[in-house]
Amino acid sequence: MQKSPVTGLVMATMLEAKPFVTNIPLDRISNDPFPVYRNEHMLLIVSGIGKANAAMAAFHCCNHFSPDIVVNAGAAGSVDRAFPLGECYQVTRIVEYDRPDISTGDPTIFYPNTVNGFQTATLATQDRPVIFPDERRKVSDVADLVDMEAASVVQACEKQHTPCLVFKYVTDTPDHTENGDIVNHIRKYRDPFYNFYISSVVSKLNQHPPEVFPASP
């Protein structure tokens, strides 16, 4: 009997990760330098918010636990109303919006690995939250969604030669400019996102071998 691959999940906050920890369930195995939860086939590391935290957590995940694949999963904002609350997307292209290439001045681009069968979106990652409609309009020139971690997770996995997928669910749109809105929507949509991940993503990753496609521009 073939062994299922070990997946490393990197999620920014326990608020997002709670259904994974409690429903699978996963056991807490460490708290330093990051909270880590795991079972036989999955480990979950809670990185904290922001690019530096995400990069360190993803590197720690790959270097210490050697997962077959890493998935950055969790909340994202949408830049316009075409990407509605609660919808789940596989990210195929990431723009590190606040880190331009030194030679060209253009934002740095990353391409996660992908699997077939999911609706897709592009994503902009930056350390400053993108909240207000005018800020979202600026980002809409380069991406559909915004977050604060994914680019760093993909970059860290590239350094460790570990495939990396990115799945996000929408927790705020141009109509939502208060932090309370985002927190409430994370709580509202985290269980549907968990169900989506378990029913749809895990089945893809448990194929032998998983149909994971290389990152490509």
Distance (Å, rounded) from C-alpha 10 to C-alpha 200?
18
pLDDT at 1: 39
Q: What is the mean pLDDT of the chain?
A: 92
| 3-state SS assignment for residue 15 | helix
Kindly report the CATH class assigned to 7-205: alpha beta
Element (H, E) at 42: strand 42-46
pLDDT tens profile 153-178:
999 999 999 999 999 999 999 998 88
Low-confidence ranges of the chain (pLDDT < 50): 1-2
pLDDT at 142: 93
Query: Tokens at residue 121, please?
Result: 């979106």
pLDDT tens profile 107-134:
889 999 999 999 999 999 999 999 899 9
| 3-state SS assignment for residue 59 | helix
